[in-house]
Chains A and B, each alone.
Chain A
């Protein structure tokens, strides 16, 4: 089954050049039932990537552009009165999909963000007096633009904690950008083949669960997590229990994607950055010194002994 993952990567590479981190992050999220927060400037193929993933995995995909005037019912759905039958009918919102791109999530007020994030956590939605289960698999890829910070509604820490990973994407390398330009010039329009079925997804999820993780590596994960909670002038608050769970699952999935049947501390370290970076509260003093959350995480990793 692991060979199929390489095929998925190849299919996505037909339309997306580079952005390996984002593709791997999405696969990890999908296989471990997590949601992904992506931060990057516009035009870095976020929509194309998730769309390609939905085609390669034969999953339903929807996109919602978050704007200041968006309402919770625009995402969840609403009860609408039908004058013909003189009764209320349920109109399901775009959340009823398998892959949802929540574009620029911080452009909408907190009530809209809460409605989405609650559905992400519960995996079910209540409209009127009826509850609906969301389909399986269900993954949200939310995006944020790091440049425009005016007129935004910053996601609160408790809401950020619901995202398994925060992936930072940057511009492509020179060679990658050259390849993009050539593809556009040649008007290449490659069709993406469906690689996995929903049964395959379940098999992969089970294979990931069976990846061995040694007790010492488990303790290493806990050591990293507890280290963030110790007194540190660069940290305002440490990461929570969800971070331990997500780091555990993400490390397993990462090892699996790298064709390993056991997790090494290197896998844990590689996953510590995306799992911790949106959960760790960097102190004002650290910000004043120009430190970022990644720099603080690096210090934490260096201060904990590798098993």
Chain B
């Protein structure tokens, strides 16, 4: 019952002619950065017309909001919408939360007509947009204790993979900040330090937590910096600290022998490398042999063929055999001999086989 009374204090009912609005805040005097929830109910009262609502808080540097829920009934003529927002006030003092709202009024015929047509001929909805002026909601924001870096209920965890490492070999530091409250990304460890090299990446922001992963390397022993964040819990209205103690890392010096090659690579050049001359000479010898061998084979084949034709002609024992041989060899080259042979064989010209053979060989 008490809770009901307290909640009712922050509920505002507004009645227009045809719409009912209700705004409900869970807290009207929060601390700076303390989250508060805002529920907005919009209800259509005039059921004779078709209505649509477009509602949103106005953007402002005084507060930050996120819509976390929207419920809507799909009934024409009886539209009901419920929005839920989470709001962070970003400054202390008086903060006004303003809203934009448009009421769209149309008819059943227009709605039916709007969803007709086809891909290339879409019918636009015939409607009337009416801007509604809503009064702002006033918040009275309380300041937080000075030097408070975080507002909410948070925990800070860290993990380091080892405490001893080799020179230039990195260690990995994992830090996670989690809990309920207002969170924005920030660098938890300062980048520049002379004693070590810090490799960073963008902090990963998950729901209600921020994760930092660092790699740190050095050539000599070093200590990670202390982290000490002052935080304020608005529920308990108390300040507390989130701390990571300084961690000492022992770095083993580098043994140069392990990283240097025992032999020059590539090997240092000698003034005259006789072994390479040997290789070069053998390559040249193989090339010349490869170049000369096919030429020699071709030459031998050519000589052999010339000899073979002469031998073959000498071995022929009849004129007809010789005619057939010449026809099979080169018709155009031995054209006149073929003609002579034709006369000898088929016209009884008196030339001996020996004479014709000599004619061919003497060519």
**Residues of A with Cβ closer than 8 Å to B?**
262, 264-266, 269-270, 298, 301-302, 305-307
Task: For A264, list chain B residues within 8 Å (CB).
Answer: 342, 345-346
The docked-state distance in angstroms from the alpha carbon of A262 to that of B345 is: 13
Task: For A301, list chain B residues within 8 Å (CB).
Answer: 327-328
The docked-state distance in angstroms from the alpha carbon of A305 to that of B327 is: 12
Q: Which residue of B has the minimal Cβ distance to A260?
A: B342
Beyond known contacts A262-B346, A264-B342, A302-B324: 4 more, CB 8 A cutoff:
A266-B342, A301-B327, A302-B328, A306-B323
Q: Does B144 contact A (CB under 8 A)?
A: no
Q: Which residue of A has the minimal Cβ distance to B339?
A: A266
**Residues of B with Cβ closer than 8 Å to A?**
320, 323-324, 327-328, 331, 338, 342, 345-346
B342:A306 contact, CB within 8 angstroms: no
Q: Which listed residue, B328, B338, B346, touches A298 by the CB 8 Å rule?
A: B328
Task: For B328, list chain A residues within 8 Å (CB).
Answer: 298, 301-302
Task: For B338, list chain A residues within 8 Å (CB).
Answer: 266
The docked-state distance in angstroms from the alpha carbon of A35 to that of B338 is: 29
Q: Which residue of A has the minimal Cβ distance to B338?
A: A266
Q: Which residue of B has the minimal Cβ distance to A262?
A: B346
Task: For B324, list chain A residues within 8 Å (CB).
Answer: 302, 305-306
The docked-state distance in angstroms from the alpha carbon of A10 to that of B272 is: 78
B320:A306 contact, CB within 8 angstroms: yes
Dominant secondary structure of chain B at its interface with chain A: helix
Task: For A298, list chain B residues within 8 Å (CB).
Answer: 328
Task: For B320, list chain A residues within 8 Å (CB).
Answer: 305-307
Q: How many whole Å from A255's CB to the nearest CB in chain B?
A: 10
The docked-state distance in angstroms from the alpha carbon of A117 to that of B58 is: 91
Q: How many whole Å from B39's CB to the nearest CB in chain A?
A: 77
Q: How many whole Å from B356's CB to the nearest CB in chain A?
A: 15
The docked-state distance in angstroms from the alpha carbon of A306 to that of B342 is: 11
The docked-state distance in angstroms from the alpha carbon of A275 to that of B323 is: 21
Q: How many whole Å from B144's CB to the nearest CB in chain A?
A: 85
Q: Which residue of B has the minimal Cβ distance to A269?
A: B327
The docked-state distance in angstroms from the alpha carbon of A262 to that of B338 is: 16
The docked-state distance in angstroms from the alpha carbon of A269 to that of B323 is: 11
Task: For B345, list chain A residues within 8 Å (CB).
Answer: 264
The docked-state distance in angstroms from the alpha carbon of A284 to that of B52 is: 81
Q: How many whole Å from A53's CB to the nearest CB in chain B?
A: 25
The docked-state distance in angstroms from the alpha carbon of A122 to that of B345 is: 41
Q: How many whole Å from B332's CB to the nearest CB in chain A?
A: 11
Task: For A262, list chain B residues within 8 Å (CB).
Answer: 346
Q: How many whole Å from A275's CB to the nearest CB in chain B?
A: 16
Q: List 22 A-B contacts (CB under 8 A).
A: A262-B346, A264-B342, A264-B345, A264-B346, A265-B323, A266-B323, A266-B327, A266-B338, A266-B342, A269-B327, A270-B331, A298-B328, A301-B327, A301-B328, A302-B324, A302-B328, A305-B320, A305-B324, A306-B320, A306-B323, A306-B324, A307-B320
The docked-state distance in angstroms from the alpha carbon of A176 to that of B342 is: 30
Cβ-closest 4 pairs across A and B: A306-B324, A302-B328, A264-B346, A264-B342
The docked-state distance in angstroms from the alpha carbon of A298 to that of B320 is: 17
Task: For B327, list chain A residues within 8 Å (CB).
Answer: 266, 269, 301
The docked-state distance in angstroms from the alpha carbon of A302 to that of B331 is: 13
Q: Which residue of A has the minimal Cβ distance to B319?
A: A306
The docked-state distance in angstroms from the alpha carbon of A307 to that of B342 is: 12
Task: For A265, list chain B residues within 8 Å (CB).
Answer: 323
Task: For A306, list chain B residues within 8 Å (CB).
Answer: 320, 323-324
The docked-state distance in angstroms from the alpha carbon of A190 to that of B320 is: 46
Q: How many whole Å from B267's CB to the nearest CB in chain A?
A: 53
Q: How many whole Å from B266's CB to the nearest CB in chain A?
A: 51
The docked-state distance in angstroms from the alpha carbon of A298 to that of B328 is: 7
The docked-state distance in angstroms from the alpha carbon of A301 to that of B338 is: 16
Q: How many whole Å from A36's CB to the nearest CB in chain B?
A: 21
Task: For B331, list chain A residues within 8 Å (CB).
Answer: 270
The docked-state distance in angstroms from the alpha carbon of A296 to that of B237 is: 110
Q: Which residue of A has the minimal Cβ distance to B323?
A: A306
Q: Which residue of A has the minimal Cβ distance to B341?
A: A266
Q: Which residue of B has the minimal Cβ distance to A265?
A: B323
Q: How many whole Å from B69's CB to the nearest CB in chain A?
A: 70
Task: For B342, list chain A residues within 8 Å (CB).
Answer: 264, 266
The docked-state distance in angstroms from the alpha carbon of A301 to that of B323 is: 12
Q: Which residue of A has the minimal Cβ distance to B326?
A: A266
Task: For A270, list chain B residues within 8 Å (CB).
Answer: 331
